[in-house]
Amino acid sequence: MRINNYFMRGTAAINKKEKIGLFNSDNDTNVHMHDFVEIVYFKSGIGTHTIDGKEYKISNGNLCIINTNTEHHYHIKPNAENKEIQVKNIIFYPQFLDGKYHSDNFINEICLDILPSVQIEPCKFIHIARDTNKDFASLFSIVEHEMSLKEEGYLDIVKNCLLSILIKIFRENSAQERKSPILLKHIEIVENAINFLDEHYNENLTLKDFADRFNFSTVYFNTIFKNYTGLTFRKYQQKLRCEKAKKMLETTDKTVADICWEVGYQDSKQFFVLFKRIVGITPSEYRKKYRKSPPAPLA
């Protein structure tokens, strides 16, 4: 397994003048800490993220902000195939936003400054479970675009996007802290259902199977599932199977018919229609466009 030692090499990737940098990865990290603030957005994948000794399950859309000098690391879920994690990191010194912020208590200081109505306990990090705010991905993309082009005024745009990300993190964190025990229990149930579905995505599992598994009616289970994921159970299952199919199309020589069968569809016509509707192109077109070349043999 490859290990990303980027953070152990110091802060060379942060330009001293800009005081901000980006880092994208699909690798594990060793346990580390650093003297800058880090916002980590797990764009895709499943694994664990350990922060200050506490372990969190991570999956698509998870996000966290980690204060300076806070020990952490993440890794791909053990003994599972196709669980690569695509990670986007914004790393910055507190001074990038305002010279009055200090490294050791940045999260609390800036929260009280930009959102004084949101009360948070002194903390070293904030972890946001699942993609509850669809703006995170687009804001990260804007930051990445501006940092790559470096056109006039790019740092002002980056700073505004970073502030928007921080505000949304604090909002989401405050909302999570206000959730009732019943709602928190529902979140736990849906997360368990999602993890189980990810492991058994190609099996003939229905909404009723999952509702029965957690002692809910199908209507109620589908409601709490959609509230959490933004998709009905069926649409989430279809999207998940398409993601698995995309991975196979990119990395294997299996026929489209075999892939159709492996992701849980016996009707190839149904699979073709669903794949094109969700992905936008046919499986064959996707393979032609995104097929990854095998690594060159060692000399």
pLDDT digits (tens, 9 = 90+) for 159-179: 999 999 999 888 888 776 665
Report the CATH number that the domain containing residue 60 is assigned in CATH.
Answer: 2.60.120.280
Residue 134's identity, in one-letter code, is K
Structural domain for 152, as ranges: 3-177
Residues 6+ apart with CB under 8 A from 281: 289
Tens of pLDDT, residues 74-103? 886 654 455 556 888 999 999 898 777 777
The SS3 assignment for 91 reads strand
143 and 39: one domain?
yes
How many residues can be counted in the chain? 299
* In contact, 44 and 85? CB cutoff 8 Å: yes
Q: Which of 177, 208, 234 is the last residue of a domain?
A: 177
9 and 148: one domain?
yes
Report the CATH number that the domain containing residue 286 is assigned in CATH.
Answer: 1.10.10.60
Q: Which of 157, 177, 197 is the last residue of a domain?
A: 177
**231-236 long-range CB contacts below 8 Å, 24 or more apart?**
233/207, 234/207, 236/194, 236/197
Tens of pLDDT, residues 224-254? 888 788 889 999 999 999 999 999 999 999 9
